[in-house]
Amino acid sequence: MVYRGKPSPSCAVCTGYRDQSDFGFQDQSEEVVRNYHQSAKKKGKEKEKEKRSITSSPILPSTTTGTLVTPASSPPSAGSPPRSLATSVQDIARGYLYTNYMTGGPRTRYMAYLVPLMEDRQNRALDAAVTAVALAALSNIHASPRTMLKAHVEYSTALSATNQALRDPNICKRDDVLAAVVMLGIFEIVSCTDTSFIDRWMNHLDGAAKLLEARGPEQLSRPEGLDMFTQLRAQITLSEIYQQRHSAPILAQLTEQVHCYRDAKDHILDQLGSIVIKLANFCANVKEGRFEKPVEIIRTALSIDAAFVSLLIIAPSAWSYTIAKVPTAHSATLAPHIWGPTYHIYKSIAASSMWNNYRCARILIQELILDTLDGISASTERDIAFPQRHTLELQCRQTALQLVEDICASVPFSLGSEMEMEIASNKSADSAAANSPACAGVAISGSGGLTLMWPLLVAANSGVAPKDLRNWIAGSLNKIGHSMGINQALAMSKLLQDQMKTRAWLS
């Protein structure tokens, strides 16, 4: 873990840390939300007053959908909010994180590995890190500065405990310590306040890579260790490609060894990971000038691109997706949620994330080929060395644009919008079906937003995305930021609105 400076000034307002047992991890989300929304309805007139006095309220009553799922059954009548609601913001926040990131349906199990790790009440660093992320997200959703102060106090506790654990050569290899490092990184994503998030993101990934190396192949033998390795490998290699830096050798070694621990149906994850590592090393070699001729760069790039395509021509059923059409009658209403006439339906957030990692890698390959072609100055050289140069340019642009549109087609699934489309369609065809429990409400999963931000940014900065598509992506990032409480998405949206190219920062 990289030290990022002294703790927030908010730590000064803290009167001391509570006993960590007070923050027991419990799934109380349905009970809390039932009382929470009933109270909000009873106190409609007080709502605006509470908004005006935001700084004195730990959390605002709100009817915002897409964060906490309202139960389908009618809530029981209630008077004033229970005393525990005013004093247990941590429990509300942790319940939100639990239901939106760890358990539930295909959109919300992205960090399911946290559940067994949280059962050990002695994992102090992880406990505080989870609470910090949960409070920060809820603070952003409800615009509550006081809740954010609580989040920073928990973050300071988690950072101190994590640094202490990392100094022990044995404790640092535990799954809960790596999970705490991951959650500290997510805290910075959630609480992001400026556009320097790229540097912080890369620094955290550098620290995570060192931990993966220290943990060795033994980490792959446990489900929690295997899941964290898979997710971190994808992020680390993307960071290395962005920096045109050679991939850490340990990633390739662990990727070769992981097939012994992975189900056969999931081997595609490691096959894809191997190709992405090869791409990272290729980009580093290009930066270091290890190719004598541009044609060598292009041939190697096309070879790697072909390896990507051949791998996913026929994906295993668990990792495949279907293409659905937008209901024509509702296309105008649903326009903010979808780009184009079709969208994708995946079987899990993990599947959509895998495909978007694949698309990001291929987009970067097309960019590299186009940059290489543009780098050949003399027209005679272009004609002699590349008689089919224009054909290749057109092919790369078309491929990149299709990959960009495919990333955008994954947005409805990740944000739950395709459920809204199904509901709208059902209402037109059969009002009774629309009132079924399956259509009772739509929850926007934090997991979907967390995995979607970087693919959207890569797509928008691809060089082939037209202005209206970039604006649509900026709107999607804003939706992620406001609905899910992930501030980094808002920072990314601002970069796009300011016409800034993130990859240019790295060179």
> Which range (59-68, 83-92, 124-133) has the least confidence?
59-68
Q: Does residue 403 sit in helix, strand or coil?
A: helix
Cα gap 342→327, rounded to integer Å: 9
pLDDT of 82 higher than 50? no
pTM: 0.77
**SS3 letters for 297-357?**
HHHHHHHHHHHHHHHHCCCCHHHCEEEEECCHHHCCCCHHHCCCCEEEEECCHHHHHHHHH
Q: How confident is the model at residue 414 (pLDDT cuts 50, 70, 90)?
A: confident
Long-range contacts at 283-289 (CB < 8 A, ≥ 24 apart): 283/240, 283/241, 283/244, 283/364, 283/368, 284/240, 284/244, 284/245, 284/246, 284/247, 286/244, 286/368, 287/244
pLDDT digits (tens, 9 = 90+) for 274-322: 999 999 999 999 999 999 888 899 999 999 999 999 999 988 999 999 9
Specify the pairing of strand 321-325 against strand 342-346. antiparallel
Tell me the residue type at 178. L
pLDDT of 5 higher than 50? no
pLDDT digits (tens, 9 = 90+) for 57-79: 333 333 233 333 323 333 333 33
Cα gap 424→459, rounded to integer Å: 29
Cα gap 207→215, rounded to integer Å: 13
Cα gap 160→87, rounded to integer Å: 25
Name the CA radius of gyration of the chain, rounded. 24
Cα gap 239→280, rounded to integer Å: 9
Q: How confident is the model at residue 202 (pLDDT cuts 50, 70, 90)?
A: confident
Long-range contacts at 282-286 (CB < 8 A, ≥ 24 apart): 283/240, 283/241, 283/244, 283/364, 283/368, 284/240, 284/244, 284/245, 284/246, 284/247, 286/244, 286/368
Q: How confident is the model at residue 370 (pLDDT cuts 50, 70, 90)?
A: very high
Mean pLDDT value across the chain: 78
Beta carbons of 137 and 486 less than 8 angstroms apart: yes
Cα gap 179→263, rounded to integer Å: 23
Cα gap 8→13, rounded to integer Å: 10
pLDDT, mean of residues 137-162: 94
Structure confidence at residue 127 (pLDDT): 94
pLDDT of 397 higher than 90? yes
**Burial of residue 283 (number of CB atoms within 10 Å: 0-12, 13-18, 19+):** buried
Structure confidence at residue 335 (pLDDT): 65
pLDDT, mean of residues 244-253: 92
pLDDT digits (tens, 9 = 90+) for 166-194: 999 999 999 999 999 999 999 999 998 87
Beta carbons of 439 and 472 less than 8 angstroms apart: no
Q: What's the distance, CA 20 to chain centroid?
A: 28
Structure confidence at residue 418 (pLDDT): 52
pLDDT of 360 higher than 60? yes
Structure confidence at residue 338 (pLDDT): 84
